[in-house]
Amino acid sequence: MKRVVITGASSGIGAATAEAFAAAGAQLVLAARGKEALDVVAERCWARGAEVLTVPVDVADADAVAALARAARDWMGGIDVWFSNVGVGVVGRFHEVPIEAHRRVIESNLVGHLNDAHAVLSIFIQQRRGIFINMISVGGFLPAPWAVAYTASKFGLRGMSQALRGELSAYPGIHVCDVYPTFVDTPAIRHAGNYTGGETSVPPGVLDPRTVARAVVRLADRPRPTTAVGAPAGLMSLAQVLAPNLGATAMNAFLGSYFRRAVRTGPTDGNLFAPPADDGAIDGGFRRPDQRRQAAGLAAIAGVAALGGLALLLGRSGRGTRRRRLDDRWR
């Protein structure tokens, strides 16, 4: 029986992963800020036969996370998997979003994950085994204009995991695993802070949270450093090296155009400073039935298009190199 801790378990990917682990026979400790939402998710896990303990925790509070780790270890007799899954966001032009909102994103998305790792790694080292799964997102490779703090947190998480893997290389039984999904249909999109002046939405082909949950559960049996869901991580990393500003510039233009035409709405902090009242849900409600069927195909098309663009970029680079070599021969 796997002994699993999930932070950010009250909705979306966290809730879907809790149910997937419950169906696989795991013992669960579920943590998030909202007790009522945790109880809703726990009921669904109990219905699948799992033993579940819920612990209301704000991961930005290091002492509370340390207490969570101790309680989980004592209740389950150890910890096999810790899924660090908390994520919040705020959308808007950087200078128009209150700095307190940016700070809260960093506290939750980056410092919170640091607190998770700090609390559990001493337990893993004592056990000489354990799996820390770090939920990052495609935003760990590709910068997102109008979500600067979110981008900073996700780039930071990728560096955090790489550094931890280096430190833990002497412990072959301890694994740090990153998960990089593309857009996922969760309530988090509606819960985000919004200072754009327009309603937010998602592109076609968003992932089912359960698809990401299955990838996380597989890591508990077959840990690996990097798992991309919806797009190839290697391609994203290479694109960031070869053209780090091109995608961000294009995205900035697109978002500016989108929000000028979006349904008007007032500014909101969303769930940055308090848990939402309508939590416990897995789906965000953005996918239509036809989008659910087309999601995998759209992801594949996007990957092929990106590869084509990359090949074109490399081809141009190669032609430029050949020209320079020919020019040099005639000098």
Confidence label for 6 from pLDDT (cuts 50, 70 and 90):
very high
Give the residue carrying structure tokens 């990917």. Answer: 13
* Per-residue pLDDT tens over the stretch 153-178: 999 999 999 999 999 999 999 999 99
* Per-residue pLDDT tens over the stretch 38-61: 999 999 999 999 999 999 999 999
| Under 8 Å between Cβ of 30 and 41 | yes
Phi then psi dihedrals of residue 141, to 5 deg: -110, -40
pLDDT of residue 295: 40
CA 195 vs CA 39, 96, 177: distances in Å: 31, 7, 33
pLDDT of residue 4: 98
% of residues, the chain, pLDDT over 70: 85
Has domain 3-291 been given CATH number 3.30.1490.190? Answer: no
Of 74, 105, 100, nearest to 88 by C-alpha is 105
Task: Choose, from 150, 171, 180, 195, the residue flagged as catalytic.
Answer: 150
* Per-residue pLDDT tens over the stretch 233-252: 667 767 777 777 877 888 78
- 150 as an active site residue: the answer is yes
Diameter of the chain measured on Cα atoms: 78
For residue 92, is pLDDT > 50? Answer: yes
pLDDT of residue 312: 39
Whole-structure pTM value: 0.86
The ranges assigned to domains in the chain are: 3-291
- CB within 8 A of 248, min separation 6: which ones? 142, 143, 144, 145
